[in-house]
């Protein structure tokens, strides 16, 4: 596995856009407004009908209920059936957006993501000054719900792909498959696939006072049992229709399937929306057998935890015996630092967006003479300084005459020290751009690893200035 900074810019929408409708389960009229958001903001719901306009991030750890859709809850504030909206955002390649609601539930519209896609396309998209992160899958990760037999896994692939296999053991629906090989095909192939239910589920939901906003235009109803006159009458009243009938293909009337495998396509739509709760783009192929919101979101939680651990322990895979990209003499030709304050020995990787450097910590370091001589520990501020010098290589590499520039700290944020560094340790530093370099200003995320374990991290900002 690995977290990588891609060369792809993050995106948000260009302008706000709204649409209105009815919540499927609440039956209440609701207005949803998509609004632009800054880089690294993510996808966030906002309840403007509540005091303080609280927000709920699209995060798998906030999932509280998956009975009839994916429900998020934070500090007592709820968002119901989030999956179709999130699928539309991911399907249109949007990384950052605010989703404002004046009720707890987005409008169901026609039961698909088609209307959300149309609104987002109307809003347009813009690139932001930050690169997208991706979670690169290098080995299979899976989750199985033993109770239902549902299973979902992700395996290595060159891009994000999803395959769903649906089998509910009913003759009317049968076995169906659907595949999305390219996210760019979401609008064309998946976005208009509508939600579906079986007749026995509809009867239960009606008895419990749910699907108040449901009608035959926003859900495919598969008739999996004999229809009595009494049931027909209940459905006619519930759906406010003059009459109800079953079509030859086994679904209630007033609706024509868009695809023979529309159910499998909608399950794929749900998987895409639920896995948006991972919070990081996935570079891998997802295969879901009999997916549902429970198994989807449990898998999203598992991936989210793996990614969090990966981000903390994403040790660069470096062969320390290989020929370095830059040795200490080449480093001194670029950096103005000299002993005893030159704190990096080698550079192994250098691209437009990241750099990897190394330092061997020896007992001969000058700071050990005064920093706990009886139990020598490298000062944390010097670990951050060494990290910054590594980042200095990254920013100085953008000018043709780096020897004529100096690098100055502007800001340090979120500095954390995880473990002590002592003589004999080998420090590996990795600095990756958070935003593209502008006017000599470098904003980067830095990590320091001692003997393969994270020992420090910091968000750094530095600027190069030409020597007068």
The answer to whether 337 is a known catalytic residue is no
The answer to whether 293 is a known catalytic residue is yes
Could you say which of 293, 337, 354, 443 is catalytic?
A: 293
Residue 308, CA distances (Å) to 1, 2, 278, 315 in order? 12, 11, 10, 13
DSSP state of 468: -
Residues 6 or more apart from 357 whose CB is under 8 A from it?
A: 344, 345, 346, 347, 348, 386, 389, 390, 393, 428, 429
Residue 75, CA distances (Å) to 30, 72, 182, 197, 367 in order? 22, 10, 37, 31, 48
The tally of CA atoms less than 13 A away on the side-chain side of residue 125 is 20
Nearest Cα neighbor of 446 from 365, 383, 402, 398 is 383
Residues 6 or more apart from 218 whose CB is under 8 A from it?
A: 24, 108, 109, 110, 111, 194, 195
Is 255:216 a contact under the CB 8 Å cutoff?
yes
Q: Name the token pair of 383.
A: 């670990």
Report the distance separating Cα 202 and Cα 223, nearest Å.
10
Residue 175's beta-bridge partner residues?
A: 167
Which residues carry out catalysis? 293, 371
């Amino acid at each position: 596995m690995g977290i990588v900074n891609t060369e792809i810019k993050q995106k948000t929408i260009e302008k706000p856009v709204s649409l209105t409708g009815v919540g499927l389960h609440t039956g209440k009229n609701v207005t949803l407004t998509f609004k632009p958001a800054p880089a690294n903001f993510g996808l966030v719901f906002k309840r403007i009908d509540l005091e303080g306009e609280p927000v709920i991030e699209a995060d798998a750890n906030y999932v509280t209920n998956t009975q009839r859709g994916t429900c998020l809850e934070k500090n007592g504030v709820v968002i119901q059936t989030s999956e179709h909206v999130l699928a539309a955002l991911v399907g249109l390649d949007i990384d950052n957006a605010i989703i404002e609601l004046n009720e707890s539930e987005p409008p169901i519209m026609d039961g698909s993501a088609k209307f959300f896609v149309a609104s987002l396309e109307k809003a347009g998209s813009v690139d932001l000054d930050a690169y997208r992160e991706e979670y690169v899958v290098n080995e299979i990760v899976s989750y199985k719900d033993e109770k239902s037999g549902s299973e979902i896994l992700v395996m290595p692939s060159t891009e994000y792909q999803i395959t769903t296999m649906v089998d509910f053991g009913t003759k009317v629906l049968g076995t169906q498959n659907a595949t999305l090989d390219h996210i760019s095909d979401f609008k064309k192939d998946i976005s208009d696939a509508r939600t579906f239910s079986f007749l026995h589920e509809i009867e239960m939901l009606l008895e419990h006072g749910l699907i108040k906003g449901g009608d035959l235009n926003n859900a495919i109803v598969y008739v999996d049992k004999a229809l009595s006159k009494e049931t027909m009458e209940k459905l006619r009243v519930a759906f406010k229709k003059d009459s109800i009938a079953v079509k030859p293909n086994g679904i209630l009337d007033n609706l024509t399937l868009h695809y023979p495998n529309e159910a499998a396509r909608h399950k794929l739509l749900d998987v895409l929306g639920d896995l948006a709760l991972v919070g990081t783009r996935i570079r891998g192929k997802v295969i879901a057998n009999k997916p549902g919101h429970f198994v989807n979101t449990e898998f999203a939680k598992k991936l989210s935890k793996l990614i969090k651990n990966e981000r903390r322990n994403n040790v660069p895979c470096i062969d320390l015996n290989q020929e370095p990209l830059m040795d200490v003499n080449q480093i001194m030709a670029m950096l103005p630092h000299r002993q005893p304050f030159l704190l990096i020995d080698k550079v192994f990787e250098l691209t437009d967006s990241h750099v990897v450097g190394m330092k061997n910590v020896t007992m001969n370091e000058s700071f050990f003479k005064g920093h706990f001589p009886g139990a020598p520990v490298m000062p944390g501020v010097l670990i951050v300084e060494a990290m910054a010098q590594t980042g200095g290589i990254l920013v100085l590499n953008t000018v043709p005459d780096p020897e004529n520039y100096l690098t100055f700290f502007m800001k340090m944020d979120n500095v954390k020290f995880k473990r002590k560094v002592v003589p004999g340790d080998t420090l590996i530093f990795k600095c990756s751009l958070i935003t593209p370099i502008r006017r000599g200003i470098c904003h980067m995320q830095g990590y320091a690893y001692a003997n393969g374990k994270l020992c420090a991290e910091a968000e750094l900002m530095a600027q190069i200035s030409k020597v007068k």
